[in-house]
Chains A and B, each alone.
Chain A
């Protein structure tokens, strides 16, 4: 059974710091991995999608890497800003016969960037 873990659960950093959020998954048989941002009481905003054949994706100050064989992904945020404060969720789409297209989510890392 695929499980996704995000450590730490919470992180507080000063503005301007570069930071890394971690995501690990137990089964490397995945179609892709997607990183989301969720603001309190809001929906999920897609940040980056990495297909299983890719190693990394970049968007602005964000860079996500994928090491499928070791079951790990990292989200790198450069020059953090207070506006980056949110909960970051990673999710994998597993291969397999169920074919529901569902994502398996981690519990998220809540990031606070202090001015």
Chain B
């Protein structure tokens, strides 16, 4: 089954404790991206990747890092989480260049930073 898989789905952590949210897709997509969803602000792009070893900032990259060492994986790293990073996070992938392809989303990872 074609899917985007995120882990963990739920996480409660404390300020400053480094964490990684993994994302993996099995559709051989070149384009991958991370979004966060917040009440009243909707979905906003954090980072994106056009292909292996090619990543760039989205609209709200502060406090996050990403890497793209393999085509299928695009982990989101929070080096020193803060309470304002409490949010629902989504990983997405798309075929081709990312401009015209359909975007597929994972199930989401709900993160709470205390």
Partner-B contacts on A (CB < 8 A): 31-32, 34, 36, 41-46, 49, 51, 89, 91, 93, 99-103, 105-108
Instruction: Report the separation of the CA atoms of residues A23 and B102 in the bound assembly, to the nearest whole angstrom.
Output: 18
Chain A CB within 8 A of B80 CB: no
Instruction: Report the separation of the CA atoms of residues A30 and B45 in the bound assembly, to the nearest whole angstrom.
Output: 17
- Neighbouring A residues of B105 by C-beta, 8 Å: 36, 43-46
Instruction: Report the separation of the CA atoms of residues A99 and B49 in the bound assembly, to the nearest whole angstrom.
Output: 11
Q: Which 3 A/B pairs are nearest by Cβ-Cβ distance?
A: A101-B98, A43-B107, A44-B105
Contact (Cβ within 8 A) B59 A102: yes
The B contact surface, by secondary structure, is: strand
Instruction: Report the separation of the CA atoms of residues A108 and B106 in the bound assembly, to the nearest whole angstrom.
Output: 18
Instruction: Report the separation of the CA atoms of residues A34 and B33 in the bound assembly, to the nearest whole angstrom.
Output: 16
- In this complex, what residue of B is CB-closest to A48? B102
A101-B94 contact, Cβ under 8 Å, with A31-B100, A34-B103, A46-B103: yes
Chain A CB within 8 A of B74 CB: no
- In this complex, what residue of A is CB-closest to B96? A101
Q: Report B54 CB to chain A, min CB distance, Å.
A: 12
- Neighbouring A residues of B108 by C-beta, 8 Å: 41-43
Give residues 29-57 of B contacting A (CB, 8 Å): 31, 33, 42-43, 45, 48, 50, 56
A102-B90 contact, Cβ under 8 Å, with A42-B108, A43-B106, A93-B99: no
- In this complex, what residue of A is CB-closest to B50? A101
- Neighbouring B residues of A100 by C-beta, 8 Å: 45, 48, 56, 58
Instruction: Report the separation of the CA atoms of residues A25 and B110 in the bound assembly, to the nearest whole angstrom.
Output: 29
**9 additional A-B residue pairs with CB within 8 Å, beyond A31-B99, A103-B45, A103-B103:** A31-B100, A34-B103, A36-B105, A46-B102, A91-B43, A100-B48, A101-B33, A102-B48, A103-B43
